[in-house]
Amino acid sequence: MIDVKARQRVLVVDDVVENCELIAAYLEDLGCDVVTAHSGGEAVAAMETRPADLVLMDVEMPGMNGLEACRQIKAASTSKMVPVVIVTAYSAVDDRVAALEAGADDFLAKPVEQTELVARVRSLLRVKTLYDSLVQTEQVVFALARAVEAKDNFTEAHSERVAEIARRLATAAGLDPETVAATYFAARVHDIGKIGVPDEILNKKEALSPEEVAVMRTVPVLGAEICRPLRSSHGITEIIRHQKERVDGTGYPDGLSGEQISPAARILAICDAYDSLVSGERAERPQMADERARAVLLRQSGRAYDEKLVWLLFNKVLPPVSSPVS
Identify the pLDDT of residue 326.
44
Q: Are residues 302 and 198 located together in one domain of the fold?
A: yes
d(CA 305, CA 176): 21
Name the region of 232 (left: φ>0; alpha: ψ -120 to 50; beta: rest): left
The phi, psi pair for 277, rounded to 5°, reads: -70, -45
How is residue 82 annotated by DSSP?
Answer: S
Q: Are residues 185 and 243 located together in one domain of the fold?
A: yes
What's the structural domain count of the chain? 2
Identify the pLDDT of residue 153.
56
Q: Are residues 31 and 175 located together in one domain of the fold?
A: no
Q: 35 forms bridges with which residues in the sheet? A: 11
Q: Are residues 260 and 159 located together in one domain of the fold?
A: yes
Q: Are residues 195 and 100 located together in one domain of the fold?
A: no
The phi, psi pair for 164, rounded to 5°, reads: -65, -45
Q: Which residues of the chain have pLDDT under 50?
A: 1-4, 281-287, 324-326
Identify the pLDDT of residue 3.
47
How is residue 12 annotated by DSSP?
Answer: E
Q: Does some domain include residue 255?
A: yes
Please name the residues in contact with 113: beta carbons below 8 A apart, sequence gap of 6 or more: none
Structural domain for 211, as ranges:
152-317
Q: Are residues 113 and 223 located together in one domain of the fold?
A: no
Q: 57 forms bridges with which residues in the sheet? A: 13, 86
Identify the pLDDT of residue 83.
92
Q: Does some domain include residue 92?
A: yes
Amino acid occupying residue 220: P
Residue 48, domain CATH: 3.40.50.2300
**Each residue's pLDDT tens digit, 31-90:** 899 999 999 999 999 999 999 999 999 999 999 999 999 999 999 988 988 999 999 887
Q: Are residues 167 and 121 located together in one domain of the fold?
A: no
Rg from Cα positions in the chain:
25
Answer for the pair 112, 158: CB distance below 8 angstroms, yes or no: no
pTM: 0.63
Q: Does some domain include residue 36?
A: yes
**Each residue's pLDDT tens digit, 238-247:** 999 999 999 9
Q: Are residues 200 and 281 located together in one domain of the fold?
A: yes
d(CA 95, CA 48): 26
Q: Are residues 225 and 189 located together in one domain of the fold?
A: yes
